[in-house]
Amino acid sequence: MDSGKTKNTNPIKKQNEVINNKFSNPIDNTKILPLSSKTSSNKLYSGYINSNIVKNETNYSDIINILNNVFNSSYDPVNLFRELYNQISEKLNINFSALGICEHNSNCINLILSDKNGSSYNSKIMLNEIDNPIIQAYTSNNFIVTPDTNYLKLNYLDFFVNNQSYILPLSVMNDTFGVMIFCDNSNNQFFNLYRLISNYFAIFYKNKQLLDIVDRNTDIDSLTGLSNHKKLQEDLASELQSSLDKNNKLAFCIVDIANITEINNELGHAKGDSIIKEVAKKIKKNVRNTDILGRYAGDKIGIIMPDTTVEEAKYVCEYLLYNLSCTMFDDLGQLKFSCGISIAPDSTNKQDKLVILCEQALYIAKSKKLKSGQSEFVSSMDYNFWDNEALSGYVKVLTKKHGSLGINIDEELIKQFHSEKIVSKEHMLDVVSSLANTIDAKDAYTKGHSSAVSRYSEALARALNLPDSEVERIKLGALLHDIGKIGIPEHVLSKPTKLTDDEWEIMKQHPLIGADKVLKPNKSLHDLIPMVKYHHEHIDGSGYPCGLKGDEIPLAARIVAVADAYHALISDRPYRKGLSFTKACEILKMGAGIQWDKELIRQFLLIAPSLATNI
């Protein structure tokens, strides 16, 4: 028993008291000893754990210079956060950092997180989760140190379970609006530096809010003299409502100047600004009096065309692009332009979707411009969403909007996939093919993989004399066998070298993601789940995700496994060239009865020579 004193049984509180006692001055040393970035464990991302301190030193002055440069070069808070992390993470061996901003309308803190492998994640922490350390730090306006990361509610962060993270409130004059989080293995070595960064970020954020308030008091873009983005959106909302009330058409267009980034880099931003200003004048001169102009973003000019059909909008854009393309700019000659068009209510009667569809059309126009070398315009009425080029444009739009808190590209694509009303088997095949191609397109080295595996699986199924209905099911399931890769972080999926053990553990989650997240919500696809979920199981039970063996593995999944392995063997990878037909067949023979079904390998090797001519 103790002597009557009350013990502090709260480990978080105790840890915070230790840190408070240990540190008072945010810059009390002249040197920092950073941690090694070398990993040593084979569990999921656990390479971040148990790093050793290395001998080379980093001056505090170096870090301060980096912070000064970043704060002086950024304007958007989210981009500032990303750049801060990118610049200091390696020097301080930070495992991850997160920015959380309170959204009172949603009663939550929107969290965006970046880790040392280049991935970004999003999460929402509700304000009523009073036991969550993030909410505790936010409501108390005090920092919290916690030894695990479960409070983040992110699956991919299980590997940080034993790592210490610092949750620091973002507050200016007792007005707390969010938190900033750092996780490392430094044993509190950089805590005061984290406090310094979070304090400066809070001041930056509040200054940005004040500037936004000032900007909201004016509707004119200072460079072009057109309406600014806010006023353009307000005008679009007003004109869209008016058009819907009158049962009229409305067109929204975005005009983009090609290569403005290269111009800024080579000739300076002043030159780029002068071009944007001149283009704005030309557009204003060549549109109709009833059209409403505004600077949409950067080098993009938005045009609202009330009471305008898609044919009329195309005519205006064609005339506009012709006049712009005939204009000669000093030092640059003739410039090229792209234009996207969306129509209400034909495309949608929602403002946000109208803008997204316009941006999607703009990306398709840019793609056409690259192929033709000429200025191009495209309407959202010209393409099917699940067309490969259109889907690629949609992904690019969502990728760009990923900088906003709470946006999740994968979730948006899956949501669109589930909302698609399938009217026929042919329609289903088109949609599934486009989605599969989108996954393949995330990695240039696996482009066409899904369609090839589908073709090989179909051939093997026919060689086994399976019923036509079963062959068609296997063909479709094979096309979707890697659909779960939609949830795998980009740095793992597209890594140009062999995966580490930690990265491989992440990759091995894709069968479950595909089965549970993509297929399970759609009843019409339930019979495809076994192929997606079990195509990486091995005959000897050494596969994943469930460790099935022998006949426990569905026949369709065993067929897809053979086709998947064969195409992987003969395909180029960043770390090796594709194997020859003979070598690939030898490897399949060696794995027969161990990794793959022995009878299926025998059948596949009989038909493989005919398949090789189509590779």
The residue ranking higher by pLDDT, 346 or 19, is 346
Residue 584 near residue 566, CB atoms below 8 Å? yes
Is it true that the peptide bond before 545 is cis, omega within 30 degrees of 0? yes
Lowest mean pLDDT segment, chosen from 69-78, 300-309, 346-355, 380-389: 380-389
Please check the confidence at residue 31 and state whether its pLDDT lies above 60: no
SS3 call for 207 = helix
Q: Which two tokens stand for residue 493?
A: 């999926």
Q: Report whether 584 contacts 615 (CB < 8 A).
A: no
Cα→Cα distances 91→34, 73, 117, 184, 498, Å: 6, 20, 14, 11, 25
So what's the pLDDT on residue 37?
A: 31
Residue predicted with more confidence, 36 or 151: 151
| Three-state DSSP string of 500-535 | CHHHHHHHCCHHHHHHHHHHCCCHHHHHHHHHHHHC
What is the model's pLDDT at position 250?
A: 96
SS3 77: helix
Show the DSSP H helices in 54-184 as ranges. 60-73, 77-92, 133-140
So what's the pLDDT on residue 543?
94
Identical fold between 11-214 and 229-383:
no
pLDDT at position 397 is 59
Encode 26-61 in three state secondary structure. Answer: CCCCCEECCECCCCCCCCCCHHHCCCCECCCCEEHH
Residue 43 has pLDDT above 60, yes or no: no
| pLDDT 10s digits, 198-210 | 999 998 888 888 8
C-alpha–C-alpha distance, residues 571 and 575, integer Å: 11
Least confident piece of the model among 39-43, 232-236, 565-569: 39-43
Q: Which residue would you say has higher pLDDT here, 46 or 545?
A: 545
Segment 158-167 shows an average pLDDT of 72
Is residue 612's pLDDT more than 70?
A: no
Query: Per CATH, the architecture of 11-214 is what?
Result: 2-Layer Sandwich (3.30)
**Quick one: how many helices (H) and strands (E) in the chain?**
22, 15
What's the rounded mean pLDDT across residues 480-492?
A: 81
Q: What is the pLDDT of residues 269-306, one digit of tens each?
A: 778 888 899 899 999 988 888 999 999 988 899 999 99
Could you tell me what percent of the chain has a pLDDT over 90? Answer: 33
**What pLDDT sits at residue 55?**
37
- Better-predicted residue by pLDDT, 252 or 487: 252
Among 128-142, 448-462, 467-481, 572-586, which stretch is predicted with the lowest mean pLDDT?
572-586
| Mean pLDDT (whole number) for 571-595 | 87
Pick from 150, 160, 158, 98: nearest CA to 129: 150
Lowest mean pLDDT among 74-83, 214-223, 393-402, 448-457: 393-402
Predicted pLDDT at 392: 63
* Model pLDDT, residue 184: 85
CATH classification (class only), 409-612: mainly alpha
Residue 237: helix, strand or coil by DSSP? helix
Among 506, 365, 518, CA closest to 436? 518
Average pLDDT of span 441-461: 79
CA distances from 211 to 104, 147, 208 (A): 21, 38, 5
The domain made up of 229-383 is a member of CATH 3.30.70.270: yes
Q: Is 172 helix (H, G, I), strand (E, B) or coil?
A: strand
14-18, 216-220, 479-483: lowest mean pLDDT where? 14-18
Whether the pLDDT of residue 605 is over 90: the answer is yes
Q: In this model, does residue 531 exceed pLDDT 90?
A: yes
Averaged pLDDT for residues 567-587: 85
Please compute the mean of the pLDDT values over residues 35-59 and round it to a whole number: 35
User: What mean pLDDT do residues 374-398 have?
Assistant: 69
- The SS3 assignment for 80 reads helix
Residue 502 to residue 39: CA distance in whole angstroms: 9
Residue 215 sits at φ, ψ, to 5 deg, of -65, -35
- Whether the per-residue pLDDT at 19 is higher than 80: the answer is no
The 3 state secondary structure assigned to 248-274 is CCEEEEEEEECCHHHHHHHHCHHHHHH
Burial-class residue 81 by CB neighbours within 10 Å (0-12, 13-18, 19+). buried
Q: Is pLDDT of 518 > 80? A: yes
- In DSSP terms, 122 is beta-bridged to 112
173 torsion bin: left (phi>0), alpha (psi -120 to 50), beta (else): left
Query: Which residues on neighbouring strands pair with residue 293, listed in sequence order?
Result: 303
Q: What angle do CA 285, 287, 289 make, to 5 degrees?
A: 90
Domain boundaries, the chain: 11-214, 229-383, 409-612
Q: pLDDT band at 39, cuts 50/70/90?
A: very low
- Where is mean pLDDT largest: 181-185, 213-217, 420-424? 181-185
CA-CA distance, 353 to 392, in Å (whole number)?
A: 17
Residue 382 · residue 431 · CB < 8 Å:
no
All residues at 6 or more sequence positions from 210 whose CB lies less than 8 Å from its CB, including other chains: none
Distance between CA 81 and CA 69 in Å, rounded? 13
Query: Which uninterrupted H or E stretch holds 329?
Result: strand 328-329
pLDDT: is 93 or 214 the higher one? Answer: 93
Three-state SS string over 145-159 comes to EECCCHHHCCHHHHH
Distance between the two ends of the chain, CA-based, in angstroms? 77
pLDDT band at 59 (very low <50, low <70, confident <90, very high): low
**Radius of gyration (C-alpha) of the chain in whole angstroms:** 28
| Distance between CA atoms of residues 195 and 165, nearest Å | 13
- Is a pLDDT exceeding 80 seen at residue 549? yes
What is the H or E stretch that residue 96 is in? strand 96-103
Structure tokens at 293: 């102009």
Binned at pLDDT 50, 70 and 90, residue 403 comes out as very low
Task: Kindly write down the DSSP assignment for every residue of 593-612, as one continuous string.
Answer: TTTB-HHHHHHHHHHHHHHH
Q: How far is CA 563 from CA 245, 457, 460, 474, 597, in A?
A: 56, 6, 8, 11, 12
Q: Check residue 18 and give its pLDDT.
A: 45
Instruction: State yes or no: pLDDT of 587 exceeds 50.
Output: yes
Contact between 116 and 140 (Cβ < 8 Å): no
Write out the two tokens for 16. Answer: 């915070």
Centroid of chain to Cα 180: 21
Confidence band for 75, pLDDT divided at 50, 70 and 90? low
> Cα separation of 615 and 606, whole Å?
16
10 Å CB burial of residue 4 (0-12, 13-18, 19+) is exposed
Residues 6+ positions from 335 with CB-CB distance below 8 Å: 257, 258, 259, 275, 279, 324, 325, 327, 329
Smallest Cα–Cα separation from 19: which of 171, 214, 189, 176?
Answer: 189
CB contact burial 507-523 (16+ within 10 A = b; e otherwise): bbbbbbbbbebbbeeee
Q: Is the pLDDT score of 551 beyond 70?
A: yes
